[in-house]
Amino acid sequence: MLFASYGPQKYNESRHAISSVTAEMKGKKLLCLLLVSWWFCLGHAWLPRDTKIRGVNFGGLFIVEPWMMGDEWRSMGCASYASEFDCVKGIGQAAANAAFQKHWATWINATDIAQIKSLGLNTIRIPLGYWIKEDLVWEGEYWPQGGFYYLESLCRHATDAGLYIILDLHAAPGAQKAWEAFTGQMATTPGFYKDYNYERAIQLMEWLTNMAHTNPNFANVGALQLINEPLQNYGIVQSMLHNYYPNAWKRIRAMEDNLGVIPSNRLHIMMMNGLWGSGDPNEGLRGIDLGLSLYDDHHYVKWTASVAANRNAYIQHSCTDDRGGNSPTIVGEWSLSTADEDGPEFDIKRDDAVAWYRRWWAAQVLCYEKQMGWIFWTWKVNWINGHLEWRWGYQQAYEAGVIPQNPQDAHAYGVCNGIS
């Protein structure tokens, strides 16, 4: 289990280690200032430089999406509910806390972290709900409690493994979309786009910024994502572009200034790119230094209406598509799921399914590595629609023989040779 060794004794050991780590960090900063060498001063905030970003999401861990983990959801006593909010409200706070804490402790564990590293991956993106900072929760909101302990421990394991960490505000105060379980609730209207909810989100960003720079367990947190998948409605999201984004940027940087963080150690700030359909993320950021910006592109061919639902069209699309736009872009969510999943073209029970999906996985990797890299959605699933659905789980696809041990192999398959 991930957290079995992280009890009071281990916590006290880590507390004693903080002073020496802090002293080492201060020494490095002083040396950087004396040498005035930007390359020498590169800190934990900087992206892996030896290769592309190649990673997995931890979807389903701190925000459970019942559709992709039905067995787990049932085991938590939540089968009658459509979202975390509904389950906590329905079964009560104490029962929910016990159920969710067991889930956080077991769903992704130290063995997973080791396996992720062994598979040639270098990055994890951790979707979070704003309620991870529990004092942001208002009366009448129902969320599981105790998650920060498990987030801290998870980041410690990932940091020890050398994985780059992106912390993603996946579920915003008030919900950025209606009727979406990934927001943690089935909100009837998107309530995020209000000043008071922007303020709660910014307080979360400040808190995470402080954590990334002062808590050694978060040493490999290099990026904060301001919001996942906002509404694709320019009329509604203008206040996000002109209020939330610039104020979040300013207050993250102000927190780093107050902490004495040197420029090369600052966090990247990540936003959905213009391809997402929520407007130009830079629209309201005039006068702000965007040198440490990152942009997130989500591309599920399954829902790309212009691509015909057949194998040839999928390969053609992935070999010729270019996810350009705002730069630098990471394709932060994608999968092997298809339209007409159980039809004759894409049925995973076909004799040649593994071989074809391996080729399509490689074609997508080649496409997304035209940009800064990719983060697969998601690391782990269990039964979906009555079978083990490896099209959504990197771990399951690897075990099925679809994904190789080294993602660099995608460049050797020749899947896109001759396709233009």
Domain CATH for 236: 3.20.20.80
Q: Is 389 one of the annotated active-site residues of the chain? A: no
Q: Which range marks the domain in which residue 345 is found?
A: 43-412
CA 334 vs CA 54, 238, 267: distances in Å? 12, 26, 24
- CB-facing half-sphere around the CA of 65: CA atoms within 13 A: 21
Q: Is residue 327 part of a domain?
A: yes
Per-residue pLDDT tens over the stretch 89-104: 999 999 999 999 999 9
Give 296-353 pLDDT, tens digit per residue: 999 999 999 999 999 999 999 999 999 988 999 999 999 999 999 989 999 999 999 9
Asked whether residue 10 is assigned to any structural domain, the reply reads no
Inside any domain, residue 250 = yes
Looking at the structure of the chain, the number of domains it has is 1
Residue 404 domain-assigned (yes or no): yes
* Residue 229 annotated among the catalytic residues of the structure: yes
Task: Tell how strand 268-272 and strand 53-57 pair up.
Answer: unpaired
Tell whether 12 is covered by a domain.
Answer: no
Q: Residue 37: pLDDT above 70?
A: no
**pLDDT score for 9:** 33
Q: Give dist(CA 410, CA 399) in Å, integer.
A: 17
From 65, 229, 345, 389, active-site residue: 229
Q: Is residue 325 part of a domain?
A: yes
45 confidence band (pLDDT: 50, 70, 90): low
Residue 14 lies in a domain: no
Q: How far is CA 42 from CA 3, 47, 219, in A?
A: 31, 10, 13
Least confident of 26-30, 184-188, 206-210: 26-30
Please, are residues 286 and 245 in contact by the beta-carbon 8 Å criterion? no
Residue 232 lies in a domain: yes
Of the candidates 379, 293, 368, 380, the residue with the CA atom closest to the CA atom of residue 332: 368
The catalytically annotated residue of 65, 333, 345, 389 is: 333
